[in-house]
A = this chain, B = another copy of it.
Amino acid sequence: MMPVVQPTVVLNRQRIIQNISRIQFKAQQTGTRFRPHFKTHHSAQVAEIFRELGIAHITVSSVDMAIYFADHGWTDICIAFPVNYLDWDRISALSKAITLHVIVDSIEVAEFIVRHAQHPLHIWIDCDTGYHRTGIPWEHLDDIGQMAETLSGGLHIRLEGIITHAGESYSCRSLAEILDVFNYTLHRMQHVQRHLASLGYPHAISLGDTPTVSRCTSLAGIDEVRPGNLVFYDLTQLTIGSCTAQDIAIAVACPVVSKYTHRHELLVHGGGVHLSKDRIESNGRTIFGRVIDPISWDFEEPYMDIVRLCQEHGMIKVSPEQFERISIGDTIYIAPVHSCMVMDLFFGEMVCFTPT
């Protein structure tokens, strides 16, 4: 293992392939379209792994990101963020160039789109099934019906159905809780689906979020799933119960720059601008990352955690034995709290892969 001079993202290719294949297989069992969310990696390099596995439909979270992946040859993209009509020129240009899916949750914007669309545009009605971020509340069937009616007026509009992101699954801490979110989300979406069907509108169902899609046993009744984090997972997903430690496929390799004898702490170059300020509670303390072994890709025990994080500094608490073993100049591999934020921070930089 070469020492790294600066913080560097290292990806475990074998685990990435396993993680993608598992969901791909589950989706194939029920004829569900697997449209992975590429915001997690935001990387043309990583995207190639998906392409080699036969993935052709993708999700992104911004117009910038849609343009980036369109430029890298992806031709069927869903922007899973409500349409910002101020950005219409770029959205319209994309809808001419590729098969573009968008989501809407306000009548005002839907009317704007109907008036302005000049190229085929696939639209999903965003439903709020409990996360309370975006979407029309699922119980408001009249509003959802009115939205479908508005959209059907557009010459170039291809209404697809309803979409949701059950982000409340990020508060789960057990399989039972994850499955509960999955079940009520699907029931609520099917309730809306029946209503749209009764009115004669298209009514496909698209679900997101990595925890429920990772742990549910069947995707029956779901037309499309859009998990993103599954490609790498991270400490957050491990805490939720979406994955095992053996599924985590991303680490930030950081150089040890100094050591502090009296408190058994290591300084690594690896701070908030590399790992983000996302944090989790673990064993009664707030942590910003956990050290893994670079050979086994398993946690080093006793756990070595980043317990404080500044812009460029990461402070790792270690045992007396670990303190003796680790030297200045060594490379430490850190499993991050939130892989999506890490990849955003390293956007445009080369990432390294472990050998397959």
Given the complex, which residues of B lie within 8 Å of A263, measured CB to CB? 132
CA distance A55 to B308 in the complex (A): 32
Question: Which residue of chain B has its CB nearest to the CB of A271?
Answer: B61
| Residue with the highest number of chain B CB atoms closer than 10 Å, among A5, A258, A315, A340 | A258
CA distance A7 to B292 in the complex (A): 36
Question: Which residue of chain B has its CB nearest to the CB of A338?
Answer: B277
A258–B132 CB distance below 8 A: no
Q: Does A21 contact B (CB under 8 A)?
A: no
Q: Does A3 contact B (CB under 8 A)?
A: yes
CA distance A132 to B261 in the complex (A): 12
- Which residues 256-293 of A sit at the B interface, judged by CB distance below 8 A? 257-260, 262-263, 265, 267, 269, 272-273, 276-279
B313–A81 CB distance below 8 A: yes
Q: Does A133 contact B (CB under 8 A)?
A: yes
Given the complex, which residues of B lie within 8 Å of A276, measured CB to CB? 272, 276-277
CA distance A245 to B106 in the complex (A): 35
Q: Taking the full assembly, how many copies of this chain does it contain?
A: 2
B328–A267 CB distance below 8 A: no
A106–B259 CB distance below 8 A: yes
CA distance A313 to B84 in the complex (A): 12
Give the contacting residue for A5; candidates B39, B86, B311; CB below 8 A.
Answer: B86
Question: Which residue of chain B has its CB nearest to the CB of A328?
Answer: B108
B134–A258 CB distance below 8 A: yes
Chain A interfacial positions (CB closer than 8 Å to B):
3-6, 39, 61-62, 64, 81-87, 105-106, 108-109, 132-134, 137, 167, 255, 257-260, 262-263, 265, 267, 269, 272-273, 276-279, 308, 310-313, 315, 328-329, 338, 340-341, 344-345
- Ranked 9 nearest A-B pairs via Cβ: A277-B277, A5-B86, A84-B257, A61-B312, A82-B258, A273-B344, A277-B278, A106-B258, A5-B87
